[in-house]
Structure 1
Amino acid sequence: MIKLSIRKCIENEAILTKAMLLEQNGCTSYPFCTLEITHVPIDSWSMTRLGAAFPFSNLNAIVLDYTSFEDKGINGLLCGLEGNRKLLTLSLCYCSLEPESGSKLGSIVAQTAICNLYLNGNNLQCLGALELIRPIAMYAESLGREKETNALQFNNDSDHQMPEA
């Protein structure tokens, strides 16, 4: 697997090119599995464009550390991650995220396959952390209830079955 890495000054045109390359999943010689863009500021248009490419890509890790896209860029990024079942790792360290990003990230993590979320160095504060954890806890609780209901239903069904002679 190839890792696509960008660590210098980046313009919207370069982001567009990278997004188009990610969208050609299966049609290129290089199966990209990781996208790393670090230490460059990214505007909200670029984040939205990248986010639009994620559903068509085969990425299992996205690292956007030190990109400072702030809360304005998080919406575009997360739109592309809705329902994603391939992405396992999302790293948004030192991206200047505020408490409002917590609820948006929490709902995405609860509905996708993301199991590694890195948010070091952001300004989520207690409110953002609570909003991040709430959707995940609610989802885990509903899974527990569903599992319990299925177990009870299975036990009731097996009690009523008559063994054949």
Structure 2
Amino acid sequence: MKYIKVFKPISYYKLKEIDLKYNILKNKKNVLEMGSFPGGWSIYLFEKKKKFISIDKKETKFKNFLKLDIKKFNIFKKIKKKFDLIICDIFSKSTNFKYLNKKNISENFKNIFKITFFFLKRNGILVYKDIFYKKNNLKKYFKKSYNYKPKCSKKKTNEHYKIFKFFKC
């Protein structure tokens, strides 16, 4: 039997670490992944045998991929179901503070939250990358919230993940 060595993006290990610590995939059947390029989170979801739809402006090689831009809201026309878990990793380029565009990031957060309120099932989970340690109003819509910086994240960045569990709406 021939083995092919596959190199997994660092994002794969970040999601794995978050899942092991917070059990985000336990009993979750349908997952929406936003910001799926280059595919690390998709690989992890595939290995865990989860049903998922991944979206990004850049194409990946998964059959359940949709080329969509969350800023254009074409997601509401293309997707017609609710999800148990929404994961979002779309700010990878903006973690470099030389190129930080706060207005663009703020707009992205608003879009993520609109999508979450539209597509997340009651008692669902939201996980997204953040680079600011500011409080946000999302906490009031979930029963539990956590901030987490995976060990495999670059030490120099402010990159961390917000995990919100048990959506109340």
Report the TM-score, using the length of structure 2 for normalisation. 0.34
Pick 1 or 2: higher relative contact order, CA cutoff 8 A, min separation 6.
2
Flag the structure with higher strand content: 2
Larger Rg: 1
Report the TM-score, using the length of structure 1 for normalisation. 0.35
